Amino acid sequence: MRVGNLSNRLTLFTELGAIDVEQSSGGLFAADPQAVYDRWDEFIAWVASPRSVTQAVPYATESLGPPAPRPRQVFAIGANYRAHLEEADFPVPEWPMIFTKWPSSFAGPFGEIVIPTDSVDWEAELVAIVGRRARNVTAERGWNYIAGLTVGQDVTERPIQVRGVMPQFSQSKSFPGFSPSGPWLVTLDEFTDPGDLEISCILNGRVVQKARTSDLIFTVPMIVAELSKTLTLEPGDVIFTGTPGGVGYNHKPPIYLAAGDKLVTTIERIGEMRHSIVSH
Ligand code: ZN
């Protein structure tokens, strides 16, 4: 199942087009795309049940929004691909490095990213959305708490990320538009192996990042386990899982996003996001 956010309305996406869930369910489910995660099991059952389906309609990709637009909590993992650690010359971490991206930075999968400075970088990432409340869950059971996967960018202003004696990442990653995701959430039954997907980032037609999510040091179920040791994961929470090698500042010389750039972020079996970079 592909489910997401079309003009701020919960929408199923099929080969034939978009199906509005509130209309199709006769109001059983609200239009708010965020609200569905609190009733995720009920929603999955409704989608699987025989039902009268309203006609699927064509839609404009520009109207797609983030599949989970207003999560209670947002988590992001740093330094989580072996190749990215090698290029940054970091040791393999013993625990996941966890920060947040404030939801005011959320954006849809198509459109513009406004860069506030000349040192803004890309980070293609697999994003997992929580579908069930989780507390003290083991990694073996971690996938059971995930509603599905989507594509994300953890856009980052590099100098702010590393400033000060004890750098805090979140501010550098939370300018408006710095956390796009989409084009939709894909449920886990759609994947042969949800832990092994090709992820890539293409800047102006040039492949700058290409990896497989099987190279993650802390996998999605491991992240669920680690987070749920200290807090309760809530339905609709969003987890940015980290970026592979090939980010701009590790190029020699560094490359940063510039006005006019075209950024394409893709994960196999999920889809792609396309953004144009504009200056402030
Ligand atoms: Zn990141």
pLDDT tens figures, 95-104 = 999 999 999 9
**Cα-to-centroid distance, 252 and ligand 1 (Å):** 20
Residues 34, 185: contact at Cβ < 8 Å? no
Question: What pLDDT score does 108 carry?
Answer: 98
Provide φ and ψ at 160, rounded to 5°.
-70, -35
CA of 14 to the centre of ligand 1 (A): 30
Q: How far is the CA of 219 from the centre of ligand 1 (A)?
A: 14
In whole angstroms, what is the distance from residue 206 CA to residue 186 CA? Answer: 27
Position 111 scores a pLDDT of: 97
Ligand 1 mean position, distance from CA 103 (Å): 15
Ligand 1 center to 144 CA (angstroms): 24
- Other CB atoms within 10 A of residue 119 CB: 18
54 alpha carbon – ligand 1 mean position (Å):
39
Virtual CA dihedral for 33, 38, 39, 43, nearest 10 degrees?
A: 40
For residue 113, what are its two tokens? Answer: 């990213």
Give φ, ψ of 127 to 5 degrees: -120, 130
Q: Is 199 left (phi over 0), alpha (psi -120 to 50) or beta?
A: beta
Predicted confidence (pLDDT) per residue in 185-224, tens digit: 999 999 999 999 999 999 999 999 999 999 999 999 999 9
177 Cα–ligand 1 center, Å: 14
Instruction: Kindly give, in sequence order, each residue whose CB lies less than 8 Å from that of residue 12, ignoring residues fewer than 6 positions away.
Output: 1, 2, 3, 18, 19, 21, 24, 47
The CA-to-CA distance between both ends of the chain, in Å, stands at 37
**pTM, two decimal places:** 0.97
Domain with CATH 3.90.850.10 in the chain: 67-279
CA of residue 152 to ligand 1 center, whole Å:
9
Q: Is the bond preceding 183 in cis, omega lying within 30 degrees of 0?
A: yes
Contact 207, 275 (CB under 8 A): no
Superfamily of domain 67-279: Fumarylacetoacetase-like, C-terminal domain (3.90.850.10)
pLDDT on residue 52: 65
**Regions of the chain where pLDDT drops below 70:** 52-53
User: Of 142, 145, 99, 124, which is closest to residue 237 (Cα–Cα)?
Assistant: 145
CB 120, CB 138: distance < 8 Å? no
Residue 91 confidence (pLDDT): 83
Q: How far is the CA of 101 from the centre of ligand 1 (A)?
A: 10
